[in-house]
Amino acid sequence: MPYLTPEALSPASKTVRTESNGRTGMYLFEDSVLDPGSTNAGKNSGGISEEEISNAYPVVRLDVERITDAIAGRLATSLLAHVLFLKNQVPFPVMQLGKIPGGNTSSRASKQRAELLASFDTISSHLDTTFSALSTALARCTNNQGRKLAQAHFAILVGPSIGTAKSKLIVGIDGLEARIWGSESGSTLSGADESDEEEADESQEDEDEEGGDSEEEPADSEDEDEELEDNEDQDEDGEQDEEDEEDEQDYSRVQSPPPPYLSRAEEQKFLQNADRLLARTLAAADAAGNGITSEMSPTQTHILIRAPRGFSHPAWIPRQNLTSSLDSSLQEFLGFSGLRDAGPEPNPSSKISRRSKVEGVWIAARSGIQPLRNVQARPGGPSKPQEDEDMIWWSWDGKFVGFADW
């Protein structure tokens, strides 16, 4: 099996480079499970030592400015496949289950395999759109306005139920692109321009009508005409300055450097390299003693994601009653990562899953891992926007049932 073969492991600090169309670094990935003695084990832009983080949890760092919804969905799907195999929920890697020659299709093992593969295909398609919806929900939050990147979290729980999970894996995605999907780029600018043109046309018509009326009426005096002209000039200058400021604000809010164009083949190559990096990172972490491999009896696997209350996706069910316990696990995950929340500290008297250690994996962009603010759900305010921005946990409406026979 190709995932954890020791001979296939590359050095922990090895950097893999590929090129496309002569653009060096387009597909540059860095395995951030660094050698403690490596000189590259520095600090990222947020001042957090990557060596400290990687000593606690495996870190997959991609040399990209932002993690798009496509990258997040692909790596989340790949990580789920690894977890199912490394947690002993399937006898073979998920991608190999579908290649097993079909025997008695009516057997219990064949039915279990078919059900699990169907569930995996379903969540694979759901994750493609889940992170698009999450990116939109995060971009609409008032505390994220003006920020192009966000930090997202989802959890993979293995156990009979969500509340009695024997294994908790928190996955942090730092550098997720926060944007409102479904709106054309620059639509705000074009809309502002159209409204400005309409206002200019209306004002011009008003001026023409006023000019026609003024021609019929005689002027009282030259002094009054000069005063009116001066006032109009000042008003026009003030309105022009305000319009310029609004245009600059709209431009800074909407315009951003467009991502480099990637063909379909280049995008697939990029995602394949990311999958390989994830597999190497998990293997290196397992060899270093901080991996996620464990021998567990076949049971159920539950997928959850942390998103604002205003998050909308038909495949995800809000679980407000689980927010407190899962936020405690998230706090533990961030604490072991060396990240400190700017919000309230967790209650030391609360029981934070002491029976099962919280495992984790980080996926980060070029900027590295940044401290997260407002980890716990903010108390709901009287206004609707604040309630829609409260962070809660959502569970996928499907399920995975592990099996050992094949």
> Residue 1: what pLDDT?
38
Q: What CATH number is given to the structural domain containing 152?
A: 3.30.900.20
- Domain membership of residue 32 as a residue range: 6-182+271-401
Does residue 195 share a domain with residue 177? no
The count of domains in the chain is 2
Three-state DSSP at 218 gives coil
Whether residue 214 is contained in a domain is answered as yes
Identify the segments of the chain with pLDDT beneath 70. Answer: 1-55, 102-104, 143-146, 183-262, 340-356, 372-386
Does residue 177 share a domain with residue 127? yes
Does residue 193 share a domain with residue 94? no
Does residue 345 share a domain with residue 249? no
Whether residue 370 is contained in a domain is answered as yes
Whether residue 72 is contained in a domain is answered as yes
Does residue 136 share a domain with residue 149? yes
Does residue 395 share a domain with residue 249? no
Whether residue 394 is contained in a domain is answered as yes
Whether residue 265 is contained in a domain is answered as no
Does residue 371 share a domain with residue 329? yes
* Residue 156: half-sphere exposure toward Cβ, Cα within 13 Å: 24
Over residues 173-187, the pLDDT tens digits come to 999 999 887 765 433
Does residue 205 share a domain with residue 96? no
Does residue 201 share a domain with residue 106? no
Whether residue 259 is contained in a domain is answered as no
> Residue 226: what pLDDT?
57
Give CA–CA dist 296/84, Å, rounded.
10
Angle 69-86/264-288 helices, nearest 10 degrees? 40
Whether residue 264 is contained in a domain is answered as no
Which residue among 254, 279, 309 closes a domain?
Answer: 254
Scan for tokens 């049932």, then name that residue. 401
Does residue 325 share a domain with residue 245? no
Which residue among 254, 289, 305 closes a domain?
Answer: 254
Q: In whole angstroms, how far apart are CA 299 and each of 89, 210, 307?
A: 7, 80, 26
Does residue 294 share a domain with residue 238? no
Closest CA to 147 of 53, 238, 253, 63: 253
